[in-house]
Structure 1
């Protein structure tokens, strides 16, 4: 019979395999639960969790512990909601801080609060209940769908918000909840529903060199357990009309190559692979130098995303030499017309040049990312996706896969007011791609069009 483990046993097993975990005594400190409303594997793959955990624990009078929706892929409704470091129940923390990157995780927020015995709505919570704070790109672009649940929202980047927030929380946790919310209004970048009287300006880091973003906890139980992630740039200067990151992380800021290399040297003490992270890694002004010098240091490279206009051959070569199995490119649309509409005007020739490099450097697999259902998209544009993929297939003879995901308009992007394409139309377009491409040995993957519609409501909705 297969053995079943208790939550405490699972946590101890996970902690035993971590490097960099911070344990603090609670005496005289402000306990903050850092919550990621998804599984441990997903949450620990996010640099946001690493960064916030480091920032909160860098405050000498704070003890920050992590809480996840579950350690298992499919958490049970009866799993207790407790922190990893001390296994204390979530309700015992005076401050509970969620970082939310994805709208569909909002359902897990509700599940976690109910399982923890914390009243769901802010108006129902009293002084002995935790103060609930939320941040992350999903909520700081549009906090209103969760405005009746959270006491406050961080509008901007955590590196700037955390120090003054901690100062304010010391007093706020002891105040009646209406007074606590009034007190939090004074924190720059903090939006307090029904209490903030002025528009809240987004706060952001001026110089990334002051806050290197890097893996702080190493664990084999993530997508990136074999590498150190290093953010080399934040934001994007391209202005693709669909892209949330390109709007909410403006202006684009780059780490200097000297800083990237210094941070990477630190990371190489822990892992031989360095994962370069940015909205578009290949857009970094010094990416050729960074890739070449990291390889000279003996680092194996991976990259989060790349553009093809232009493509960095030194980076492609470094990825191939590092043993990466897949090269991923994101044309996003099949036709030149559609790429102009979304303001990603790379040519077929540039896209196919990247495919040629994938073939030249013997990548075992090529992935191409597209979106289906973008504004003004017609049947001819979907056919153009198939034609472009077929042209790539003639160049690249090995494993190929495409992702044709439903397009979801986001708040604060150029397409924020665009209507969503009906789920039935998206499903029909994906089925067309499957029928045309799968017989040629090309895998076609997509996400649920029905859940994409839900995501769209949460991304642009209000309190109703």
Structure 2
């Protein structure tokens, strides 16, 4: 046990020595908050949310915030105590644990962190002698119910809008009896407190991104983006793709002004020579061409998180090529015009192929294309259309092509929240078909596991009963997941099935700001597209 602790502390100190921008504070007289990312250090430090929350939580003089990860470099051993990175303290020494949760599959890691820390897993079993537990992020902000019996409080919305009022109340809430603390927090906007039954909770959002810009705080080589500083240039998306959680839960679309982006880039330039621009669709920023032109004039390289073919300019593509970008990434999401219309991402194929030809002319070493498999209404013909599209792409792009064929999980607060998820065996068969068809053209096909996608789907669309399943699991594996479901008397299909419009959905405890009637109309329009434009051969249609 001592040997494990010694190795962990040594690993943490080695990481700290290689970081720039760390905030060290003395604990004396300050409220200690652990910022917990329930995955590895590498993945967590790749998340801009960790940087933003770390900076914001450390701004008050009377608060000290330190980072905690599910694991530092390797998978943690069962007896390994979770420690904070900055001072190597155990979680029980903190007054509050703030989880930022991007992915549903990290719910398993949340339970594991609490178990290894020796903290009771059920909120009802914890009094004021235990840390308060708060969770936010895209996954739990959309549907907190699977964790509602485990964590105390859920932040519904954007941190910049939530934190000022939370940080005013939190010092008192951490030093009073737990029932009183929950009462105090349930009265704040954007906080869902399951034990106080204060649903539905309306999502809160930051109106002016210039007032609180998001950028990298800590620079480390041990992350996917170790060679650059990240700057958020926009939030939300106005295009309303029917499958997309971001497009419906981060409304309205907002942009960071060019002046602020360039000022932030000057800060990045103190540490790195490359800027990573982050947004749902970087190419949609109304000033993207002058922004990247000025960044290049400043001597900075440019990278982007995502692009839209219909707003991608040659100016932006040239800036990426000049910045030694190795991979140009685009996301058609579906192969056929019919299915792209159905999901409301009707990208023009001629325009797409023009951009592919331009990418070839600028000598990008690799082209990556994202598709989702298992959209509502998808047929075998739609999968074949991916093959046809890649054939046309290959004729124009001679270098390496990678496609990500990701199993589609219908998410809450989108028009497809009522749709059934495609069965894992159908997803696996269609992904295998793509691999077989595209292999002769030297196209790499990557995909997530359809079986694990089903688990993600159950957790994304799940209710409070899944908390017991998470607690029952002795280890994270598909076999253990199925065993725990069975012991709880539950079935994964209960969560992946189609829902009726008059059904009360588990995630109705959250008010995303988009009306149920609007989402229902969008779903009905999608169904009309299925009926009007579906191929004559209906065999294999995922309805």
Larger % of helix: which?
2
- Residues 84-233 of structure 1: matches in 2 within 5 Å? 84-197=85-198, 199-233=200-234
Query: 1-side partners of 2:126 and 2:153: how far apart?
Result: 13
Query: 1-side partners of 2:206 and 2:259: how far apart?
Result: 19
Q: Which residue of 1 aligns with 2:31?
A: 30
Q: Contact between 2:277 and 2:305, CA under 8 Å: does it hold in 1?
A: yes
1:243 aligns with 2:244: yes
Query: 1-side partners of 2:205 and 2:432: how far apart?
Result: 42
Q: Contact between 2:329 and 2:369, CA under 8 Å: does it hold in 1?
A: yes
Query: 2-side partners of 1:110 and 1:119: how far apart?
Result: 10
Query: 2-side partners of 1:77 and 1:300: how far apart?
Result: 43
SS in 1 for 2:141: helix
Q: Pick which of 177-186 and 88-97 moved more.
A: 177-186
SS in 2 for 1:33: strand
Q: Contact between 1:310 and 1:350, CA under 8 Å: does it hold in 2?
A: no
Query: 2-side partners of 1:197 and 1:370: how far apart?
Result: 39
SS in 2 for 1:377: coil
Q: Which residue of 1 aligns with 2:440?
A: 439
Q: Contact between 2:192 and 2:199, CA under 8 Å: does it hold in 1?
A: no
Query: 2-side partners of 1:74 and 1:111: how far apart?
Result: 11
Query: 1-side partners of 2:147 and 2:307: how far apart?
Result: 33
Query: 1-side partners of 2:65 and 2:282: how far apart?
Result: 31
Query: 2-side partners of 1:247 and 1:73: how far apart?
Result: 36
Q: Which residue of 2 aligns with 1:333?
A: 334
Q: Pick which of 331-340 and 252-261 moved more.
A: 252-261
SS in 1 for 2:247: helix
Q: Which residue of 2 aligns with 1:283?
A: 284
Q: Which residue of 2 aligns with 1:55?
A: 56
Q: Contact between 2:424 and 2:451, CA under 8 Å: does it hold in 1?
A: yes
Query: 2-side partners of 1:348 and 1:69: how far apart?
Result: 43
Can you list the C-alpha shifts for 1:368-397, whole angstroms capped at 9, x where unaligned?
Answer: 110000000000000000110111000000
How far 1:79 moved relative to its partner? 2.5
Q: Contact between 2:99 and 2:136, CA under 8 Å: does it hold in 1?
A: yes
Query: 1-side partners of 2:395 and 2:212: how far apart?
Result: 45
- Residues 400-415 of structure 1: matches in 2 within 5 Å? 400-415=401-416
How far 1:73 moved relative to its partner? 3.9
Q: Which residue of 1 aligns with 2:512?
A: none
- Residues 314-463 of structure 1: matches in 2 within 5 Å? 314-463=315-464
Q: Contact between 2:283 and 2:308, CA under 8 Å: does it hold in 1?
A: yes
Can you list the C-alpha shifts for 1:117-155, whole angstroms capped at 9, x where unaligned?
Answer: 010010001211111000001001110110001111001
Q: Which residue of 2 aligns with 1:264?
A: 265
Q: Contact between 1:287 and 1:312, CA under 8 Å: does it hold in 2?
A: no
After superposition, the Cα gap between the structure-2 partners of 1:136 and 1:262, relative to the gap in structure 1 and judged at 3 Å, is: same
SS in 1 for 2:415: coil
Q: Contact between 2:192 and 2:198, CA under 8 Å: does it hold in 1?
A: no
Query: 2-side partners of 1:268 and 1:413: how far apart?
Result: 39
Query: 1-side partners of 2:31 and 2:12: how far apart?
Result: 23
SS in 1 for 2:34: strand
Query: 1-side partners of 2:74 and 2:313: how far apart?
Result: 37
SS in 2 for 1:236: coil
Query: 1-side partners of 2:272 and 2:172: how far apart?
Result: 41
The answer to which structure, 1 or 2, has the higher relative contact order (CA under 8 A, 6+ apart) is: 2
Query: 2-side partners of 1:265 and 1:392: how far apart?
Result: 38
Query: 1-side partners of 2:171 and 2:131: how far apart?
Result: 12
Q: Contact between 1:100 and 1:139, CA under 8 Å: does it hold in 2?
A: yes
Q: Contact between 1:7 and 1:80, CA under 8 Å: does it hold in 2?
A: no
Query: 2-side partners of 1:7 and 1:73: how far apart?
Result: 10
TM-score (norm 1): 0.98
Aligned length: 462
Q: Which residue of 1 aligns with 2:308?
A: 307
TM-score (norm 2): 0.84
Query: 2-side partners of 1:73 and 1:399: how far apart?
Result: 31
- Report runs of 4+ in structure 1 exceeding 4 Å deviation: none
How far 1:104 moved relative to its partner? 0.2
SS in 2 for 1:416: helix
Query: 1-side partners of 2:102 and 2:199: how far apart?
Result: 25
Query: 2-side partners of 1:417 and 1:60: how far apart?
Result: 46
How far 1:219 moved relative to its partner? 0.3
How far 1:268 moved relative to its partner? 1.1
Q: Any unmatched runs of 5+ in structure 1?
A: none
SS in 2 for 1:194: helix
SS in 2 for 1:230: strand
Query: 2-side partners of 1:17 and 1:70: how far apart?
Result: 18
